[in-house]
Structure formats: structure tokens, C-alpha cells
């Protein structure tokens, strides 16, 4: 009986011996207004080790900020008879509109390809959920094109030295949020890694919203798209007529 009880308690004892993460973020909500030029998000926290003492070999930290997931269509342009045209396209059922990963060391030095794929660590391990039946080589080309496009817009990026660990216990990382970031729900995931294995993970949520006139315009475009389009066209015509009348008068 005593032996059976020890066997049942053994997994609990092993789980208690694992370190834990206590993460936090500098802003759980980011408001986008007319003057918004971007924001810097600080992710910080502590590693709590059993007994309160970090091991000699230490551990590494990876921070991933991601969201919101959305479907999108990517089109490829080619020059046909001297004219650039959309020739091929690929649809993705779910792709993050923003993805940033910061780590204390390059990911390839911390985990193997299988672990990186499981936890979606790194741009090459994003699960983009293709929605077309294209050939594998074509799909890979579009995935690479999507990642490249998002990187050029500063919506996808990696920083292999973006996390600093102090005394083996405290960590912090900074992630830049660009001005054109989409609104929605985001997650900040933190992973504790040692010897190529993920020992602990924790998640914090971040909300990015529009305020004031920007929010009104976005809501109008979403709820009353036809009216919004007509008003935009009429406003453009009025501004064009006003400018023409002003210059004729001058």
C-alpha cells in the first residue's frame, strides 16, 4: 500500500520540482489615437526555482507576442506582355496579423526543429493554415512571400538577443509595436527553456483598440460599409471641387 502511494505521489513531486514563470507586461491595453506612432511593449518577470536557487547551468527565455489571427489572400504579380498582373494567389485560413519573437539566444541554439515547430517558435515555424490545394512547392513559395511582406511592414520580426536575464532569475524584453498594427486581442507568451526542453510557459493578454475619431471611422466602415463608401466618395468629390474652385478664383 505504501509503495503504491509513493508511485502516485512521484509525478506530483516531479512537477513541483520544475521552475515556474511569473510574467507581466508594461501595458495590457494599447490605445490607438490620431497621434499614435507606435509603442514599445516591455515584457518582464521572474523565474521561480524550487528552493529559490537557480541551477548552475541556467536557463533561456523566449517571448512571443502574437495576434490577432485572421484569414487573408496573398496575390503574386508577374510581368505579362510588359504589364504587371496578378497571376497566382494563395489563401490562408488563419495567419497572425502580428508576430514578434525575442529570445536570450538564437532559437536554433536553444531547441531542435521539432520543439520549435510544436511551440511555433520562429517565423519559419508559424502555422499559417493554407486554404488552397496548391502544390507543396507553390505553397511554400507563398508562405515565404507572406513572411517577407509582413517583415517589410514591420509586422513580423525576430530578435535573437532581445531578452536579458539577470542573476539567472529576472528577465526582460522589449517589443516594438508599429503604428500600423491591427486592433484586436494579442497574447504575450513566455517560455522557459533548458537543455532543449520547454520547462514552463505562461501567457498574458494584451488588447489593442482604437479610440476617438479613429474608432468611429473603423466602426462605420465595418457596420455601414455601403454608407461609408458613399460618404467617402462624396467627400472626395467635394474636396476636389472645392480645390478646383479655389484655384480658379485665385
Domain coordinates in residue numbering, the chain: 19-210, 211-244
Q: Are 234 and 216 in contact (CB under 8 A)?
A: no
> Could you tell me the pTM of the whole model?
0.74
Q: Does residue 104 sit in helix, strand or coil?
A: coil
Q: How far is CA 238 from the centre of its chain?
A: 40
Q: Percent of the chain at pLDDT above 70? A: 71
Alpha-carbon span 203 to 205, nearest angstrom: 7
b/e 33-72 (16+ beta carbons within 10 angstroms → b): eeebeebebebbbebebeeeebeeeebbbbbbbbbebeee
Task: Tell me: pLDDT of 221 over 60.
Answer: no
What is the model's pLDDT at position 8? 43
Reading across the β-sheet that carries 170-177, which strands appear in turn? 20-25, 39-48, 170-177, 163-166
Chain segment 23-37, per-residue pLDDT in tens:
999 988 888 876 778
Chain segment 136-178, per-residue pLDDT in tens:
787 888 888 889 999 999 999 999 999 999 988 999 999 999 9
Q: Does residue 47 sit in helix, strand or coil?
A: strand
The residue-averaged pLDDT of 30-46 equals 86
Q: Does residue 190 sit in helix, strand or coil?
A: strand
Residue 212's region, left for phi above 0, alpha for psi from -120 to 50, else beta, is: left
Contacts of 116 (CB under 8 A, 6+ apart): 107, 122, 125
* 62 vs 6, more confident: 62
Q: Which CATH superfamily is domain 19-210 in?
A: Macroglobulin (MG2) domain (2.60.40.1930)
Alpha-carbon span 185 to 206, nearest angstrom: 6
Q: Are 121 and 108 in contact (CB under 8 A)?
A: no
Amino acid at each position: 500500500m505504501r509503495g503504491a502511494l509513493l508511485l502516485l505521489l512521484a509525478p506530483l513531486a516531479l512537477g513541483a520540482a520544475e521552475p515556474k514563470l511569473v510574467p507581466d507586461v508594461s501595458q495590457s491595453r494599447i490605445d490607438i489615437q490620431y497621434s499614435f506612432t507606435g509603442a514599445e511593449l516591455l515584457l518582464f518577470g521572474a523565474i521561480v526555482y524550487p528552493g529559490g536557487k537557480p541551477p548552475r547551468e541556467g536557463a533561456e527565455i523566449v517571448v512571443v507576442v502574437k495576434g490577432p489571427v485572421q484569414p487573408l489572400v496573398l496575390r503574386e504579380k508577374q510581368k505579362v506582355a510588359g504589364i504587371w498582373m496578378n497571376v497566382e494567389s494563395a489563401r490562408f485560413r488563419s495567419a497572425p496579423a502580428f508576430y514578434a519573437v525575442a529570445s536570450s539566444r538564437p532559437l536554433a541554439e536553444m531547441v531542435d526543429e521539432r520543439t520549435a515547430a510544436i511551440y511555433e517558435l520562429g517565423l519559419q515555424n508559424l502555422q499559417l493554415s493554407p486554404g488552397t490545394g496548391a502544390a507543396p512547392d507553390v505553397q511554400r513559395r507563398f508562405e515565404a512571400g507572406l513572411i517577407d511582406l509582413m517583415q517589410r511592414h514591420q509586422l513580423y520580426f525576430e530578435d535573437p538577443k532581445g531578452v536579458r536575464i539577470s542573476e539567472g532569475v529576472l528577465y526582460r524584453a522589449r517589443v516594438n509595436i508599429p503604428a500600423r498594427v491591427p486592433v484586436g486581442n494579442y497574447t504575450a507568451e513566455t517560455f522557459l527553456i533548458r537543455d532543449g526542453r520547454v520547462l514552463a510557459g505562461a501567457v498574458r493578454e494584451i488588447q489593442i483598440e482604437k479610440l476617438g475619431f479613429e474608432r468611429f471611422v473603423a466602426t462605420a466602415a465595418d457596420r455601414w460599409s455601403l454608407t461609408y463608401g458613399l460618404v467617402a466618395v462624396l467627400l472626395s468629390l467635394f474636396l476636389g471641387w472645392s480645390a478646383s474652385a479655389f484655384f480658379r478664383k485665385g
